[in-house]
Amino acid sequence: MKNKHLISIHDLSAAEVAEIFDVASKMKKSPAKYATALKGKTLGMIFEKSSTRTRVSFEVGMFQLGGHALFLSARDIQLGRGEPISDTAQVLSRYVDGIMARTFAHKTVTDLAEYGSVPVINGLTDLLHPCQGLTDYFTAFEHLGRLKGRKLAYIGDGNNMAHSLMYGGAKVGMHVAIATPKGYEPNPEVVELAKADHAKAKTTLTITNSIEEAVAGADVVETDVWASMGQEGEQEKRVKDFAGWQVDAAVMKKAKKGAIFMHCLPAHRGEEVAAAVCDGPQSVIYDEAENRLHVQKAVMYLLMGGRKRKH
Ligand code: CP
Ligand code: NVA
């Protein structure tokens, strides 16, 4: 992998994404072969926001690779008391071999990469969630067998998940359609970059306010919460603005027959998704959650200089 960091899927080539998927598949199949791949290495994990999957999958992943992970709540380290990010990045780089960070501002993660000297992995920012985006396409690959020419429809808020799925589709040869209510469209700068990525990949990126248009012919239907972390104060307003935007059985019926349903979790059943869909036969939500582990192990292995056991 040429990239030193994983900050945005936009920065990766299609070949690098394929390499991550290939290593993740091998690790999922034969985890023991990689039991000492990152022996003696440490990952520092900075969290400004809550997490279940990201925290546990990275920590367990480092353990399974023979390394160690440190949970660093931003509230408890000096960063939370105003120590500059540049100092934090340089100091941590003297101790650890990689940094994973979940932050509000995207700039915090890019600054960690700029000032530190070790690989930085974006564990979610207000702008992007690349580990989840990669994992979702990996999960789709496992279920659909082939991704090229397929279509993913994302219904809901034009948020970090929408952005990472927009970037990811172009790297795996999938058409992407994002449907949001008016006023909740994805970030225009991300749309512009993702449109260029899709044009290069000869796939389409559709941004629409129509659920029907997005799900028509979709092999994958995905949604996410209406109010992301940091937007708790807007919850009530958003519930009103997103009325009619639930992914329910009727929406799934408009997608391709046999389409799969994905959600990065945590999910709010009865809001963005009906329980019957989230817990129904088309849902692959727990495969997605599990695959965070395998995909992130592959990312850490490729970025942090992992070595496979010879025997
Ligand atoms: N999907 C995801 O990133 O979950 P957590 O917020 O629990 O880490
Ligand atoms: N969009 C959600 C994703 C959570 C994994 C958030 O940022 O809170």
Q: Which residues pair with 122 in a beta bridge?
A: 101
| Placement of tokens 């019957």 in the chain | 276
Measured N-to-C along each axis, helices 188-201 and 160-172 cross at an angle, to the nearest 10 degrees, of 10
54 lines ligand 1 (CB under 6 A): yes
49 lines ligand 1 (CB under 6 A): no
- Residue 93, strand partner residues: none
pLDDT tens readout for residues 195-232: 999 999 999 999 999 999 999 999 999 999 999 999 99
Atom of ligand 1 lying closest to residue 264 CA: 1
pLDDT at 241: 98
Report yes or no on 3 lying in a domain. no
Residues 57 and 140 in one domain: no
Nearest ligand by distance to the CA of 52: 1
CATH number for the domain spanning 66: value is 3.40.50.1370
Confirm if 172 and 141 have CB atoms less than 8 A apart: yes
Domain co-membership, 31 together with 48: yes
The atom number, within ligand 2, closest to the CA of 124 reads 7
Look up the domain containing 168 and give its range.
132-289
**Do the domain assignments include residue 311?**
no
Task: Identify whether residues 116 and 148 lie together within a single domain.
Answer: no
Top mutation candidate among 46, 50, 53, 135 for ligand 1, by most atoms within 8 Å of CB: 53
Q: Is residue 158 domain-shared with residue 138, that is, in the same domain?
A: yes
For residue 309, being part of any structural domain is answered with no
Question: Are 198 and 253 members of one domain?
Answer: yes
> Is 273 in the same domain as 229?
yes
132 counts as catalytic: yes
Closest ligand 1 atom to the C-alpha of 102? 8
Kindly state whether residues 149 and 106 are assigned to the same domain.
no
Please indicate, yes or no, if residue 96 is contained in any of the structural domains.
yes
| pLDDT (tens digit per residue) in 78-116 | 999 999 999 999 999 999 999 999 999 999 999 999 999
